[in-house]
Amino acid sequence: MKKTLLALSLGFFLAACNQNSVAQDAADENVDLKKEVSMAQSFYDFKVTDINGEEFDMSSLKGKRLLIVNTASECGYTPQYKTLQELYDKHGGDKFVIIGFPCNQFGGQEPGSNEEIKSFCEKNYGVSFPMMDKVAVKGDEVHPLYKWLTEKDLNGVDDARVSWNFNKFLIDENGNWVAHHGSGKSPMSDEIVAFATGK
């Protein structure tokens, strides 16, 4: 009987240890994410991965106005790739850059691999502005950059919920958060064109 009780006690102890270990691992991951966000004092402190798997340092964009957009290949707003490219063709370059972040969190409308996304963008819309790795833009897995973009405590300006594909964030040439626009805002709207041209 004592052996049975000892075995049961040992089993409960090991199970509890395992649960504590899993919980601790999750807590450590959460702490690491919070640390990465808290250490990023400005937009330029972030590093991301581009669609080719290479590191992309946001500090390389100092002095440029930016439009950051979460994209998808199977969305009703997907044709905005055309107007985004039109905006980039007309005003992109030394002073203005568009950066696309594919995301599969809205209706599962970006299911492809990075290679498939890149091929789709180039073949169908001639996209030449920088495209990044597929990321989460909301929820527990939100990318640290999007956490900064959507939380006033971090960006210092406003809270902004990414409501669907093709939400747009404007960042000025000094790395300051300027505005957030929903999916329905055309990339060629007067407001965005004025921003792109520095007016």
Catalytic residue list contains 75 = yes
E strand or H helix that includes residue 43: none
Residue 56 corresponds to which tokens in the numbers above? 């992309």
Q: Which entry of 17, 75, 103, 121 is annotated as an active-site residue? A: 75
* Long-range contacts of the stretch 183-191 (C-beta < 8 A, 24+): 183/77, 183/80, 184/77, 186/80, 186/83, 187/67, 187/69, 187/80, 187/83, 187/84, 187/86, 187/87, 187/98, 188/83, 188/86, 188/87
Q: Map tokens 């990318």 to a residue.
A: 143
DSSP at 141: T
Task: Answer yes or no: are the C-beta atoms of 102 and 131 closer than 8 Å.
Answer: yes
Residue 40 corresponds to which tokens in the numbers above? 């990023």
Residue 148 corresponds to which tokens in the numbers above? 């900064």
* Cross-strand bridge partners of residue 29: none
Residue 45 corresponds to which tokens in the numbers above? 């402190």
Active-site residue list? 75
